[in-house]
Amino acid sequence: MATTFEVTVYRPKAESSLVADDMQAAYAEVVEIDRLMSLYRSDSELVALNTRSGEGLLAVSPRVLEVLRAADHYARLSQGAFDVTVQPLVGLWGFYHVERASVPQQSEIDAVLRRVGHERMSLDVRNGAVELKAGVGLDLGGIAKGYAVDRALEVLRARGVTAALVNLGGNIGVLGHAPGGRPWVVGIQHPRENRLIGQIRFWRGAVATSGDYDRYFEVDDKRYSHILDPRTGKPVEGIYALTVIAPNATAADALSTAAFVLGPVNGMELLQSCEGVDGFAVEPLGNNTPQNQHLAVSITPSAIAKGHATKDRTVVFLEADPAVALLGPRTIKNGARSRRCIWPINHSP
C-alpha cells in the first residue's frame, strides 16, 4: 500500500511478553490485504481482476469480495461520488507515479469516463464472484487501508488484546479504551503548513482524512490532487481536507473520500445524515496565497468544538488561531435525518 504502518498494543504487565507477537500478527494481516488489493504488485488479486475485465464472472477471495460489497454500498450511498472503478482515470492523470503526472486533454478524459461508473461492476455474492465490464479497472485506494485497519484490530481482539491503536497511513482505528480512562487523541494536520491546528478526542471507532496535500502536482501554480471526481474525471477543487469519525475504519475511509468529492457543503450534508458519524471539512477562506493561508472549518452538529469527549460525543478541538475560522454547522436541506450508513465488517471473512 506504499504507506506507513503503526500499531500500539496495551496489555497488563504480566502479559507484556505477548505484545511482540500481537504486533507481528496485526502486521501479517495488513501484508496479506496488501498482497490481495495493491495495484503496485503485479501478483495481486486486484491486478489480475483488472486484466480480465470483460471476461464475465471472476471468482474473488472472501476479503476482496467483502471490500467490493462495502465499496458498492458507499458508491450507492454517495450517488457515485465514491467509486472504485476510477482506476483508468487515475492512470490517465498519472497519479500512480505522481512525478510523471500531467493534465490530460478533455477528449482523453471523456473517452476514459465511458469506462468508469460503479454500475459497471456487478457482484455475485452467493458465488463469491465479480463481473467487470470491458475496460473497467478497480482501484481500492479509497477503502482498502481502512479495511486493513479493521482487520488488524480484529486480529488483535481475537488474541485477547483489550486496548490498541492501529494507524495505516493516517487511517486510524482503536480497540477498547485508552489507558488511564482518557479518550483517544488524534492531531489535525494543517493542510498547507507543517503543524497541527487541533485535536480529535474520541472514545471508540476510527478516523480517516482525505486531503489534497498527500499526492498532487502543480502546473502554472495550480494544484491538481490525486482525489478525482468519478463523475467529471477531474481532481476535486474547493476543499483542502475532510475528516470522518465513524464506527469502523472501512466506513471512515470510504466516507471521507465520498464527502471530499462531494465538497464541503454536500459532503457535510452526507455525514450529518449518517447515524453514528461525525466529521469536519477544512476549506480555503478568502483569497489565499502561499504566504497567507486562511482556513474555514465546519463541524457536524453531533461533534462539539470544546468540552469533554464521551462514549456518545466526539470533540473536535481547534487551537486558537486567527487564520482558522470555525463555521457553524451547515443545515441539511431537508432537515435533520438519520440513516444507517455503516457497512458492517465481518469478523471472519
- pLDDT per position as a tens digit, 177-199: 888 888 999 999 999 999 999 99
Instruction: Give me the pLDDT at residue 260, please.
Output: 98
Does the predicted TM-score (pTM) go above 0.85?
yes
Which pLDDT score, from 0 to 100, does residue 346 have?
A: 77
Cα separation, 210 vs 263, in Å, equals: 11
In this predicted structure, what is the pLDDT of residue 349? Answer: 61
Contact 239, 47 (CB under 8 A): no
- pLDDT value, residue 182: 87
Whole-angstrom distance, CA of residue 72 vs CA of residue 66: 10
- Which residues of the chain register pLDDT less than 70? 1-2, 288-291, 305-307, 309-312, 328-337, 348-349
Return the pLDDT at 251. Answer: 98
The pLDDT of residue 129 is: 98
What crossing angle do the helices spanning 62-77 and 144-158 adopt, rounded to 10°? 130
CA angle at residue 277 from 273 to 280, to 5 degrees?
Answer: 90
DSSP track, 251-310: HHHHHHHHHHHHHHHHHHHHHHTBTT-EEEEEEE-SS-BTTB--EEEEE-TTSBSSS--B
